[in-house]
A and B are shown apart, each in its own frame.
Chain A
Amino acid sequence: MKTGIISYGAGNVASVENALQRLGESSFVSSDINELLKADRLIFPGVGHAKMAMGALIEKGIDTFLKNYNRPVLGICLGMQLMGINSEEGETSALGLIDFEVKKFTTQLKVPHTGWNSISIATPNPLFKGIDSGTYFYFVHSYYAPLCSNTIATCNYGNEFSAAVCRNNYYGVQFHPEKSGDAGMQLIQNFFRL
């Protein structure tokens, strides 16, 4: 079983690679859809600006590729946000894989929402096997996905938002499991066992 890590110029994939190595999982990094097709599952990371990231995905044909993909995909942070319909960040349309619209935080609290916050499980899902409500994960983001019918875990920062979503083979987490200690490693391991 091989995991493909989608690289499209939006952020550093080194920490995801390191996390997979610690778990002893074989993986490769690519932006080429012909290569990515060989993977058994994909991780779709992302740090950066939504509009610029969408531009890069379209240029490489990864947008259409992901829409037609039927094996498990895990979107992380911006990767999860781009699974939605659109984003206020750069007023861009997104991949439309899951029914939510990404908003900017309007709280009085310090933004970006940076640090460890606890999540609540909204709908039991194999992605959270062995992980309870109240577990802390590491977040860094200024935009969020509101609650929707595909929300499987929530988090509160001024308002409730989707900490994790799932629709069919598409999984997304707003936090960084690769930086979230043992709980994050558990979640990645769970993704491998889907």
Chain B
Amino acid sequence: MLAKRIIPCLDVKNGRTVKGINFDNLLDMGDPVDLALEYCQQGADELVLLDITATLEGRSTFLKVVKNVAKAINIPFTVGGGISTVKQVEELLMCGADKVSLNTSVILYPKLITEIANQFGSQCAVVAIDTRLTPKGWEVVSHAGTRLTGKLAFDWAKECESFGAGEILLTSYTSDGTCKGFALDITGSISNALTIPVVASGGAGTLQHFVDVFKIGNADAALAAGVFHRGEIAIDELKEMLKLSGIPVRITHSCSLY
């Protein structure tokens, strides 16, 4: 049976992993390669690396991080942050990334999703949708959550699918950093309406939140950062708990021979 995935997310700035609450007050969380390896050993199913540096210099540092992570780990990983051209995608894939996550650039130019899917396959075109609950409903926000777009997350997710996205990474800015649980309603309505996987993100604080996002939110995968970085939730323990709750997960057994 296809397993539900647990995905730690590493925000990378100037070659270091950082974590903030609602993108403010960034704290240093260590070397991304060390963290990536540690999560891999704990049983993470995939990783996401987001480049949150906006400078050119930061970008070449990030490419080095991607290359080193690809050498170190043996599970798939997605990279994102400021990707706006097919050329950038090619560069990141050549460094060993498996998928790219697209955000503001595809809100401005959705055909980029199709161009990437046609050239590298839809499996590597992930669209990150950041959303916030407003009087209009779950509205898409862009530019790292600073601008309301007027689009509804549900409609935009359907559009992304038709443009050829292979996966949706849905982050609720209303719950991100609160540790009060995932946004179950919008995750569920999008996941049930799409034929591509939906990764839920934003708000994980307890083991039960993960159970809920799979059982109630019907997510295909759950992404979190702070609870893993701070050591509040260990991935192996989380997976044992999910398994006990009847959710199919990959439990890793150490291989004795190799």
Task: Tell me, yes or no, whether A binds B.
Answer: yes
Contacts A15-B70, A181-B40, A182-B74 hold; do A117 and B2 have CB atoms under 8 A apart? yes
| Cβ–Cβ contact B94 & A12, under 8 A | yes
| Cβ–Cβ contact A179 & B2, under 8 A | no
| CA A153 to CA B175, docked complex, whole Å | 43
| Cβ–Cβ contact B71 & A21, under 8 A | yes
Q: B82 at interface (Cβ–Cβ under 8 A)?
A: no
| CA A136 to CA B2, docked complex, whole Å | 9
| Cβ–Cβ contact A138 & B76, under 8 A | yes
Contacts A179-B98, A180-B74 hold; do A111 and B255 have CB atoms under 8 A apart? no
| Cβ–Cβ contact A179 & B75, under 8 A | yes
| Cβ–Cβ contact A130 & B258, under 8 A | yes
Most buried by B among A22, A138, A180: A138
Contacts A48-B121, A138-B75, A178-B74 hold; do A113 and B2 have CB atoms under 8 A apart? yes
| CA A178 to CA B166, docked complex, whole Å | 21
Task: List which A164-194 residues lie within 8 A (CB) of chain B.
Answer: 176, 178-186, 189-190
Contact digits for B1-26, partner A, Cβ 8 Å, 1 yes 0 no: 11101000000000000000000000
Task: List which B99-132 residues lie within 8 A (CB) of chain A.
Answer: 121-123
| Cβ–Cβ contact A182 & B252, under 8 A | yes
Partner of B121, one of A47, A110, A129, A186: A47
Task: List which A4-61 residues lie within 8 A (CB) of chain B.
Answer: 12, 14-15, 18-19, 21-23, 47-48
Q: A118 at interface (Cβ–Cβ under 8 A)?
A: yes
Q: A64 at interface (Cβ–Cβ under 8 A)?
A: no
Q: A116 at interface (Cβ–Cβ under 8 A)?
A: yes
| CA A18 to CA B97, docked complex, whole Å | 12
Q: A133 at interface (Cβ–Cβ under 8 A)?
A: no
| CA A113 to CA B123, docked complex, whole Å | 10
| Cβ–Cβ contact A115 & B254, under 8 A | no
Task: List which B59-109 residues lie within 8 A (CB) of chain A.
Answer: 70-71, 74-76, 93-96, 98
| CA A183 to CA B95, docked complex, whole Å | 23
| CA A156 to CA B3, docked complex, whole Å | 12
A20: min CB distance to chain B, Å: 11
The chain B residue sitting closest to A118, CB to CB, is B1
Most buried by B among A113, A135, A176, A182: A182
Interface residues on A, range: 35 or more
Contacts A115-B197, A157-B2 hold; do A186 and B71 have CB atoms under 8 A apart? no
B163: min CB distance to chain A, Å: 16
B182: min CB distance to chain A, Å: 19
Q: B257 at interface (Cβ–Cβ under 8 A)?
A: yes
| Cβ–Cβ contact B166 & A114, under 8 A | yes
| Cβ–Cβ contact B3 & A115, under 8 A | yes
Q: B196 at interface (Cβ–Cβ under 8 A)?
A: yes
Q: B134 at interface (Cβ–Cβ under 8 A)?
A: no
Task: List which B121-148 residues lie within 8 A (CB) of chain A.
Answer: 121-123
Task: List which B185-227 residues lie within 8 A (CB) of chain A.
Answer: 195-197, 220-221
Partner of A14, one of B1, B94, B196: B94
| Cβ–Cβ contact B5 & A181, under 8 A | no
The chain B residue sitting closest to A130, CB to CB, is B257
| CA A28 to CA B74, docked complex, whole Å | 19
| Cβ–Cβ contact B76 & A112, under 8 A | no
| Cβ–Cβ contact B2 & A130, under 8 A | no
Q: A140 at interface (Cβ–Cβ under 8 A)?
A: yes
| CA A113 to CA B232, docked complex, whole Å | 32
| Cβ–Cβ contact B255 & A130, under 8 A | yes
| Cβ–Cβ contact A110 & B255, under 8 A | no
* A-to-B contact residues, CB < 8 Å: 12, 14-15, 18-19, 21-23, 47-48, 109-118, 129-131, 135-136, 138, 140, 156-157, 176, 178-186, 189-190
What are 25 inter-chain pairs, A to B, with CB distance below 8 A? A18-B70, A18-B96, A19-B74, A21-B71, A47-B121, A109-B2, A110-B196, A110-B220, A115-B5, A115-B45, A115-B197, A115-B221, A116-B5, A117-B2, A118-B3, A130-B256, A130-B258, A136-B3, A136-B250, A136-B252, A180-B75, A181-B252, A185-B74, A185-B255, A185-B258
